[in-house]
Chain A
Amino acid sequence: MTDTTRPTADATEAQPSLLSRFLRDTEIDTRLLGMAGALVLIWVGFHFYGAIFKGFGAFLTPRNLWNLSVQTSSIGIMATGMVLVIISRNIDLSVGSLLGVCAVMMGMVQVYWLPQLVGLGNPMIWVITGIIGMVMGAFIGAFQGWLIAYREIPSFIVTLGGLLVWRGCAFLMNRGETISPLDENFTLIGGGPYGAIGATGSWIVGLLGCAFILWGLWNGRKQRIAFHFPLRPVWAEMFLAVLGCGLVIGAVLLVNSYEWPIGIVRQYAAAKGLTTDPANLHISYGFAIPVLILVVVAILMNILMTRTRFGRYVFAIGGNPEAAALSGIKTKWMTVKIFALMGFLTGLSAIVASARLNSATNALGELDELFVIAAAVIGGTSLAGGIGTIFGAILGALVMQSLQTGMVLIGVDAAMQKVVVGAVLVLAVWLDILYRRKTK
């Protein structure tokens, strides 16, 4: 049975174990906690495997974790959208191809067309290009959503068709040629030494993050008092505040401890005409721009899912489509909007992915749909619909990326990597089923 009463009410009941009391009082989602635990296990496992068998633990280094964060961004951004698609009992197999076609379009816009219109290196190029990519993604997504909702073609088929169609279009648009290099400002969005915000910027972001966490806890408590709902014990609130802020500050310290390689520093010093010896210049990377994009997307998407009517309706459609329709929710129009949002995020992800490679090719994003779906599902999104969280999906993306990176670092060959990733996906879903059965 699920416990609905809170600490104040059940003092007379039998004392539950220390751990379950702790979890109940802090209201930490055990599922999310389990995922975070699995992630830590993967990280520590790869690190010590490397340390023991290869003589060097490369995983838990600022450099690797920074790269991991950048590599997770593209899949993570799309995974937040896939959560909505899967919650509403649909699937989108076309995101990888859609990413490819958006990237090629943006490549052509910023390299072939815009420089002729506004001049090479114009600071508006990346803005216009980005908007075109995201709008294109949203339109294609909306079109697929329309086919699914109003023409009643199953989403599996529509997006399977899309998988082929958009990949083909990406090739046709530029005859399969790679477009590179891209606009200089545009490539900053992909990360890299210049595509990060530096030590000071990272501290500002970190402190804002802490303020946000504290405000959130404070506001939540105020609301509960206003409506006479049971409160978390003060120690639990404190614990959450310390944990949240600790994680944020830890992340800042981590990204700031990763410094520019000497070559880049020399280049930078020369460009700026600095007289200091480059060896004495310690310049931190700080948070990479794509990671910040992912964080902002995650926060906004989480607000969308938990605090708006739109999000409530997505869950309702997934829980019981008929009931949702009878409640006056326009379920078909919702489907179009959900797929348009997925397309928009895919366009955004295409910006990040192509900017990171400083090139746009028709092969960009191949197999991404599978990683995105896997991230969402590992993150606890139920394929039966109705259940899923944004943060879970991002943790899922991080798990997938950690596995891949870790295997590369310890020298597992490519074929074996596929075997492991595939097996982990199935295992994760099985564990999830067991977990849900137990907590029901």
Chain B
Amino acid sequence: MAQNTATPLVEMRNISISFGGIKAVDHVSVDLHPGEVVGLLGHNGAGKSTLIKCLSGAYHADQGEIFINGEKVDIRSPIDARSHNIETIYQTLALADNLDAASNLFLGRELVTRSGFVDDARMEAETRKIMHRLNPNFQKFNVPVSALSGGQRQSVAIARAVYFNAKILIMDEPTAALGPQETEMVAELIQELKKEGLGIFLIDHDIHSVMKLCDRASVMKNGQLIGTVDVKKVTDEDILGMIILGKPPAQAA
């Protein structure tokens, strides 16, 4: 792809992290370009989520470097990650069930009035705006998110990432808990965000959705990177072989 010659939006180089002697991620390098969706595939425990948490600031890598737009950065906390316009949609959605949509959307980044109090009215108004764009049917603004359906909760989590002008979006199994219609909604949204020039890391179990949504796919097994392939140049079987057998791809991407 032509864009691959330019400076990547994100480059994670030789990332390693271990927990109690077990190497969860072992010298893995991945990169991501603007307007690109890179899938991260692998079995449970392959290290996908751990790798990505080093980028989102939940973990700090033991070794390795992260470059954003070619500049080396040190991400030690979720706040650091956000300051680089990295937003994450976690598999668990990371919503506080007892709070309403607006409070969740702005959690940690509340809008405040001039006197320093949280500006609930303005936050609700902003939430109504963004939700209207993402999920026009969404109406439950004044109830705790525990009262929402899986899809509605998902759209709150997505809204949180999109609202703050993410440049780099990490989605950890965004469709795992969704029905077919809602999955379709997420797929459309990914296409739209891609057009806007965001780079997206998509962690997923489902090979078919990766083949459909992603430009490239990086496959991990036992903490190591098996390889990165251009999804248009490989078949389902090739990727399955990488996931299950750890067989390196026939062609380099």
Residue B107 interfacial (CB < 8 Å): yes
B90 contact set on A, CB distance < 8 A: 326
B140 contact set on A, CB distance < 8 A: 2, 4
- Known A-B contacts A2-B147, A323-B96; the reply to A226 vs B108 at CB < 8 A is no
Give Cα A309–Cα B108 distance, bound, in whole angstroms: 8
Among the stretches B17-25, B32-40, B97-105, B192-200, the one at the interface with A is B97-105
> Are A312 and B58 interface neighbours, CB within 8 A?
no
Residue B118 interfacial (CB < 8 Å): yes
> Are A328 and B82 interface neighbours, CB within 8 A?
yes
Could you give, for residues 22-49 of chain B, a 1 whenever the CB lies within 8 Å of some chain A CB and a 0 otherwise?
0000000000000000000000000000
> Are A2 and B98 interface neighbours, CB within 8 A?
no
Could you give, for residues 182-205 of chain B, a 1 whenever the CB lies within 8 Å of some chain A CB and a 0 otherwise?
000000000000000000000000
Q: How many A-B residue pairs have CB under 8 A?
A: 89
> Are B121 and A319 interface neighbours, CB within 8 A?
no
Give residues of chain A (282-312) contacting chain B, Cβ–Cβ below 8 Å. 303, 307-309, 312
> Are B108 and A328 interface neighbours, CB within 8 A?
yes
**A223, A226, A328: which contacts B77 (Cβ < 8 A)?**
A328
Give Cα A307–Cα B120 distance, bound, in whole angstroms: 8
> Are A309 and B77 interface neighbours, CB within 8 A?
no
Residue A320 interfacial (CB < 8 Å): yes
A325 contact set on B, CB distance < 8 A: 58, 78
Residue B139 interfacial (CB < 8 Å): yes
Give residues of chain A (326-353) contacting chain B, Cβ–Cβ below 8 Å. 326-329
- Known A-B contacts A2-B143, A4-B139, A4-B141; the reply to A227 vs B94 at CB < 8 A is no
Give Cα A183–Cα B79 distance, bound, in whole angstroms: 50
Residue A387 interfacial (CB < 8 Å): yes
- Known A-B contacts A227-B122, A308-B118, A328-B108; the reply to A319 vs B143 at CB < 8 A is no
> Are B139 and A5 interface neighbours, CB within 8 A?
yes
Shortest beta-carbon distance from B154 to chain A in Å: 14
Centre residue among B77, B94, B108, B116 by max chain A CB count within 10 A: B108
Give Cα A270–Cα B183 distance, bound, in whole angstroms: 84
> Are A309 and B110 interface neighbours, CB within 8 A?
yes
Shortest beta-carbon distance from A232 to chain B in Å: 13
CB closest chain-A residue, reference B145: A319
> Are A227 and B124 interface neighbours, CB within 8 A?
yes
CB closest chain-B residue, reference A322: B94
Residue A318 interfacial (CB < 8 Å): yes
> Are A322 and B92 interface neighbours, CB within 8 A?
yes
Give Cα A386–Cα B139 distance, bound, in whole angstroms: 23
CB closest chain-B residue, reference A226: B121
**A2, A4, A224, A316: which contacts B107 (Cβ < 8 A)?**
A316
Shortest beta-carbon distance from A307 to chain B in Å: 4
Could you give, for residues 246-284 of chain A, a 1 whenever the CB lies within 8 Å of some chain B CB and a 0 otherwise?
000000000000000000000000000000000000000
> Are B98 and A318 interface neighbours, CB within 8 A?
yes
Could you give, for residues 138-152 of chain B, a 1 whenever the CB lies within 8 Å of some chain A CB and a 0 otherwise?
011111000100000
CB closest chain-B residue, reference A320: B96
CB closest chain-A residue, reference B108: A327
Give residues of chain B (75-133) contacting chain A, Cβ–Cβ below 8 Å. 77-79, 82, 88, 90, 92-99, 103, 107-110, 112, 116-118, 121-122, 124-125
Give Cα A127–Cα B110 distance, bound, in whole angstroms: 37
A324 contact set on B, CB distance < 8 A: 96, 107-108
A329 contact set on B, CB distance < 8 A: 107-108
CB closest chain-B residue, reference A324: B96
**B94, B98, B103, B107: which contacts A387 (Cβ < 8 A)?**
B98
Shortest beta-carbon distance from B174 to chain A in Å: 16
Name B's interface SS.
Answer: loop
Centre residue among B56, B107, B147 by max chain A CB count within 10 A: B107
Give Cα A327–Cα B96 distance, bound, in whole angstroms: 10
Could you give, for residues 206-242 of chain A, a 1 whenever the CB lies within 8 Å of some chain B CB and a 0 otherwise?
0000000000000000011011110000000000000
> Are A316 and B96 interface neighbours, CB within 8 A?
yes
B117 contact set on A, CB distance < 8 A: 303, 307-308
> Are A229 and B139 interface neighbours, CB within 8 A?
no
- Known A-B contacts A4-B141, A312-B110, A322-B92; the reply to A386 vs B98 at CB < 8 A is yes
Centre residue among A227, A323, A324 by max chain B CB count within 10 A: A323
> Are A4 and B99 interface neighbours, CB within 8 A?
no
> Are B96 and A315 interface neighbours, CB within 8 A?
yes
Shortest beta-carbon distance from A70 to chain B in Å: 32
A323 contact set on B, CB distance < 8 A: 92-96, 107
Give Cα A318–Cα B107 distance, bound, in whole angstroms: 13
CB closest chain-A residue, reference B90: A326
Centre residue among B88, B95, B99 by max chain A CB count within 10 A: B99
Shortest beta-carbon distance from A352 to chain B in Å: 28
Give Cα A1–Cα B242 distance, bound, in whole angstroms: 47
A319 contact set on B, CB distance < 8 A: 96-99
Shortest beta-carbon distance from B224 to chain A in Å: 26
CB closest chain-A residue, reference B116: A308
> Are A224 and B121 interface neighbours, CB within 8 A?
yes
CB closest chain-A residue, reference B93: A323
* Cross-chain pairs A/B with CB under 8 angstroms, 15 sampled: A2-B140, A4-B140, A5-B139, A307-B117, A309-B112, A315-B103, A320-B94, A320-B96, A323-B95, A324-B107, A326-B56, A326-B90, A327-B94, A327-B109, A328-B82
9 closest Cβ contacts across the A-B interface?
A319-B96, A327-B108, A319-B98, A386-B98, A323-B94, A328-B79, A328-B108, A327-B107, A307-B117
- Name 18 extra pairs, CB < 8 A, besides A312-B107, A312-B110, A318-B98: A4-B140, A227-B125, A312-B103, A316-B103, A319-B99, A320-B94, A320-B97, A322-B92, A323-B92, A323-B94, A324-B96, A326-B58, A328-B77, A328-B108, A329-B107, A386-B97, A386-B98, A440-B147
